[in-house]
Chain A
């Protein structure tokens, strides 16, 4: 093993962590701020990935595409498309309370997955869309990974600072008020339905952006990527572990979970060869165990939600 190989692996992990951090940030807006239990992350991830793929991908016979737009237009379109899909879904489903919303959103994600698989004119069906442009993809291996990591980092930083700003703004306080005490918020004259819809749409747009970044990194998107295990539940674990309601927690959770997910395989590879195949399942077990431990011993996550105003209240009391 050489140093350059390690660097490559670290760069790769950085890119994946960045992409997952975007998904976790999106979920944080929905669950952390607004208390919306969205279990259909994979659906919005897919909408974003395919929207960008269609806008930027090469032309193909019998399929929508060939617009040859630059990648950033595709990423913008991914956010717009995910938001547009989220709007009617939110309009209908957000009337449900927490666990009913979870069930409805799982259903929505499944519908999106099946549409993607069975509409060749739109998505090329089960074969997926390939030959997507990757920014700086023509550079040698290491450099192109570095460049992509830089882009992902910039996008993530931008998303983080915007979301953090919203969180500290009156909008964020209002969202938390709605989450914690809906009746009180309603009594204060807040339009709860509208605010929830806003949170749902913003969060979904970020998930769509994450999907687009993922598709262009791999230069391809296939229905196999819309696997609820890696595109929905892993993101939930990241947010819960990092600390829902805390944007830095969402990013830290993404980093922690992906590193454990990816590196645990290196650890299991040290086992004798006859266990090598079986040992792969330990990774799934580890993630589950980790979630159990966090929920048992630190339900607020590694970085809990900042309690602003608590310090003020404490000092007043003194």
Chain B
């Protein structure tokens, strides 16, 4: 870099140093979101949900010794360039204690790799679903409140094996969704001792999949697992498999749980069709959150708002528990959500604060689920297996 540029950097740095000097007593949490970029439409609600948690904390006595919790919004732009830039500013310029976000997996991986892990700042992403985040060498500082893409495939594999399916064929659509699900399903099913008798990707939008199906069924499996969309190619695949009797049982991923197969093929033909899907787990926590978020002018049905809220509230609890010590936040985060202790629902800050002060163990029950982290900092999703009953889907069993 030449000297002119250096001088320029120096000058501008000095200017900002003077400009940004808010009150020292505040505890700051970074809210990094894809404000600009491909998910710009989703990001504002997610940030609002996190802000709701922060305003609840402040309304109920504040954090630590009555200090204010402040959410510093940063634009991670849904790409690694923006993610690292926003994280660097949050950690170094704003001096945040912990970070909610970034929103997109690529930004999470980059921000964690180059900023938060080296700096030892806890990062909780509400929407980074990439399985790669699980395997990060993160000194236990990277968490998420949304299940990994891997989870559904593995849970489905375990459930099927438990229910006595030993030999299946897998057909999946050739994109991120289908490939990710199929890969995780296959490795878990084989690890559980099952046999994959056919495993093939198919391109979407073709008129006939009979040759694909014939090939898959030649392995001798009675059951076909389909990772595809029920109102698209998956429907064609299912129809042709039924018409030609290639398989007797059919299992779908969450994309297959659509009304289209029931309308088009008739419930009476789908008695051997099951689909896995995330369950909007009815809980008091969710109702409490929905009401509060509606009251704050937000839309509780918007995507990832529950996970964003949980991430912010959990971090506030962890900061309180750790006594404001940045290095202790990760350990405290596990303590406030390990499934043991007095239950804390969304918004119950005052109660939680008192319990923490008394040294009583607490357990946060989040709007999006119980949010009990596993060793990698991931949370399990809540999925169930559905069957067709009448003109709709009904739960057969929970998936573990």
The reply to whether A5 and B5 form a contact with Cβ atoms under 8 Å apart is no
A10-B47 in contact given A21-B1, A120-B179, A222-B105 (Cβ < 8 Å): no
A-side interface size class: 35 or more
A225-B2 in contact given A141-B118, A259-B12, A265-B89 (Cβ < 8 Å): no
Q: B2 contacts which of A1, A248, A273 (Cβ < 8 Å)? A: A248
The reply to whether A277 and B37 form a contact with Cβ atoms under 8 Å apart is no
The reply to whether A255 and B82 form a contact with Cβ atoms under 8 Å apart is no
Q: Is B241 an interface residue (CB 8 A)?
A: no
Q: Is A126 an interface residue (CB 8 A)?
A: yes
A101 to B94, CA, bound (A): 44
Q: Is B341 an interface residue (CB 8 A)?
A: no
Q: Which residues of A contact B106 (CB under 8 A)?
A: 128, 220, 222-225
Q: Which residues of A contact B10 (CB under 8 A)?
A: 10
The reply to whether B89 and A266 form a contact with Cβ atoms under 8 Å apart is yes
Q: Is A91 an interface residue (CB 8 A)?
A: no
A222 to B82, CA, bound (A): 13
Q: Chain A, 92-131, contact with B by CB distance < 8 Å: what is the 0/1 string? A: 0000000000000000000000000110100011111011
A252 to B8, CA, bound (A): 10
Quick one: which of A261-318 are within 8 Å of B by CB?
Answer: 261-263, 265-267, 269-270, 273, 276-277, 280-281, 283-284
B-side interface size class: 35 or more
A131-B85 in contact given A17-B5, A269-B20 (Cβ < 8 Å): no
Interface SS of A by simple majority: helix
The reply to whether B36 and A1 form a contact with Cβ atoms under 8 Å apart is no
The reply to whether B5 and A126 form a contact with Cβ atoms under 8 Å apart is no
The interface of chain B, by Cβ under 8 A from chain A, is 1-2, 4-5, 8-10, 12-13, 16-17, 19-21, 33, 35-37, 43-44, 47, 51, 71-75, 77-82, 84-86, 88-89, 91-95, 104-107, 109-110, 113-115, 118-120, 130-132, 135-137, 174-176, 179-180, 183
A10-B86 in contact given A5-B95, A224-B107 (Cβ < 8 Å): no
The reply to whether A265 and B86 form a contact with Cβ atoms under 8 Å apart is yes
The reply to whether A265 and B74 form a contact with Cβ atoms under 8 Å apart is yes
A59 to B322, CA, bound (A): 38
The reply to whether B109 and A222 form a contact with Cβ atoms under 8 Å apart is yes
Q: A156 contacts which of B1, B91, B113 (Cβ < 8 Å)? A: B1
A225-B81 in contact given A141-B119, A218-B110, A220-B113 (Cβ < 8 Å): yes
The reply to whether A259 and B36 form a contact with Cβ atoms under 8 Å apart is no
Q: B5 contacts which of A218, A251, A263, A273 (Cβ < 8 Å)? A: A251
- 7 closest Cβ pairs, A-B complex: A224-B106, A222-B106, A219-B113, A255-B5, A5-B92, A218-B110, A126-B176
